[in-house]
């Protein structure tokens, strides 16, 4: 009897110790989560709330200073030159590529983008008031482009390249906004994104931003030419070339030390475009690079295929000669990286 009681006490003590260890682990996890939440809250509190001063080296078309016109009913509408400039900038940014799943519904979204964390479906950015961005203010639009935050305060996923768009001057963002507002509104609600847990918790993007995002406008380098600065603004900002041509780190952010060295993204190869003569485009002439960007082909060089062919079709073929030259000049100056995603011979 005594032995049985002793064994029962030992078993009870063992169970109590197990429960105590579980309570300790839960308490530790709760404490760590609370600390994590406090760090996120502190980071959010430190984020600048005032707009950055835009500093641009590029002579603008003064679209931001254009007067406001009125239509036949007397309703104010953006001046034609602002809309025209916004259309060009939207072409450079290749907005249609991601926000058009069905060519009969341009800019109405619905394109499913596969990521390691699930499927993100692009939103409707036509001016429809119910399913698009018709009720967005200019401030809402600026916040999305510059900070990656939607109208309702939700964190946007970085498949929307706000990491690069943050560099855009405010008047360029508002020109794009004016162009989108000029489009025919399309009443269409795209399917919901299906992002895996815990990545479906959008607030976690604040943590991702701590490691992969810095909100800042483009500031020209006074030691460089206006053409170089224009190219930097386009490549690193509006054209967001690094989104495809830069490999990703463990958190799916861009690897800063391998910039533009090529990557495989969603099964599509984006090759090394640094000036390395073997792995990159260092042995391409300026004329060949400009021709490739404007037509998708250059004599004696590979023809653009896959995703790059679509970039040429939707975006780079519309670039002005000045912008093409600026992009090429900037690409000549970035650090040459040997290796990376290199084209095979004859590719």
Residue 135 has pLDDT above 60, yes or no: yes
Do the bridges between strand 76-77 and strand 112-115 make them parallel or antiparallel, or are there none, so unpaired?
unpaired
The confidence score (pLDDT) of residue 297 equals: 92
Residue 268 pLDDT level (bands cut at 50, 70, 90)? confident
78-107 tens-digit pLDDT: 578 999 999 999 999 999 999 999 999 999
Q: How confident is the model at residue 45 (pLDDT cuts 50, 70, 90)?
A: very low
Burial of 328 (0-12, 13-18, 19+ CB in 10 A): buried
Sign, Cα dihedral of 89, 92, 95, 100: positive
Residue 124 has pLDDT above 70, yes or no: yes
Mean per-residue pLDDT of the chain: 83
How far, CA to CA in Å, does 244 sit from each of 5, 112, 215, 259? 70, 17, 20, 10
Cα-to-chain-centroid distance, residue 195: 17
Q: Report whether pLDDT(172) > 90.
A: yes
Q: Which of 126, 173, 123, 122 is nearest to 147 (CA)?
A: 173
pTM of the shown model: 0.78
Condensed to tens digits (0 to 9), the pLDDT of residues 173-218 reads: 999 999 999 999 999 999 999 998 988 899 989 999 999 999 999 9
pLDDT in tens, 231-249: 999 999 999 999 999 999 9
Could you tell me the domains of the chain? 78-212 (no CATH), 226-333 (1.10.760)
pLDDT, tens only, 316-339: 999 999 999 999 999 999 999 998
| pLDDT score recorded for residue 341 | 74
Question: What tokens appear for 279 in the block?
Answer: 């792995």
Q: Are 118 and 199 in contact (CB under 8 A)?
A: yes
pLDDT band per the 50, 70, 90 thresholds, residue 265? confident
* Secondary structure (DSSP) of 34-75: HHHHHHHHHHHHHS--SPPPP---SPP-SGGGPPPEE-TTS-
Return d(Cα 63, Cα 80) in angstroms, integer: 9
pLDDT confidence band for 24 (50 / 70 / 90): low
Q: Give the tokens for residue 307.
A: 């995703």
Give buried/exposed letters for 195-210 (b at 16+ CB in 10 A, else e).
beeebeeeeebbebbe
């Amino acid at each position: 009897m005594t032995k049985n009681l002793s064994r029962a006490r030992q078993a009870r003590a063992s169970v109590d110790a197990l429960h105590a260890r579980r309570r300790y682990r839960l308490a530790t996890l709760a404490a760590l989560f609370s600390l994590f939440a406090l760090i996120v809250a502190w980071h959010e509190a430190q984020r600048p709330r005032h707009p950055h001063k835009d500093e641009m080296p590029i002579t603008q078309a003064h679209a931001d200073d254009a007067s406001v016109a009125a239509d036949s009913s007397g309703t104010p509408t953006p001046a034609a030159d602002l809309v025209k400039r916004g259309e060009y900038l939207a072409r450079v940014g290749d907005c249609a590529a991601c926000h058009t799943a069905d060519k009969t519904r341009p800019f109405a979204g619905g394109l499913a983008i596969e990521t390691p964390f699930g499927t993100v479906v692009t939103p409707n950015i036509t001016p429809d008031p119910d399913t698009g961005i018709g009720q967005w203010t200019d401030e809402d639009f600026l916040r999305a482009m510059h900070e990656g935050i939607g109208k309702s305060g939700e964190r946007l996923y970085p498949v929307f390249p706000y990491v690069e768009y943050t560099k855009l001057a405010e008047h360029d963002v508002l020109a794009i906004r004016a162009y989108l507002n000029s489009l025919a509104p399309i009443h269409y609600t795209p399917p919901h994104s299906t992002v895996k847990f815990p990545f479906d918790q959008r607030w976690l993007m604040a943590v991702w931003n701590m490691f992969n995002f810095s909100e800042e406008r483009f500031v020209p380098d006074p030691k460089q030419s206006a053409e170089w600065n224009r190219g930097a603004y386009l490549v690193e900002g509006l054209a967001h070339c690094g989104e495809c041509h830069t490999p990703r780190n463990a958190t799916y952010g861009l690897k800063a030390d391998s910039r533009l060295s090529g990557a495989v993204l969603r099964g599509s190869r984006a090759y090394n475009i640094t000036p390395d003569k073997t792995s990159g485009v260092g042995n391409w002439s300026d004329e060949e690079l400009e021709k490739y960007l404007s037509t998708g082909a250059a004599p004696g060089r590979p023809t653009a295929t896959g995703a790059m062919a679509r970039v040429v079709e939707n975006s780079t073929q519309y670039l002005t000669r000045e912008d093409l030259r600026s992009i090429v000049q900037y690409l000549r100056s970035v650090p040459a990286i040997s290796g990376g995603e290199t084209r095979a011979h004859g590719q």
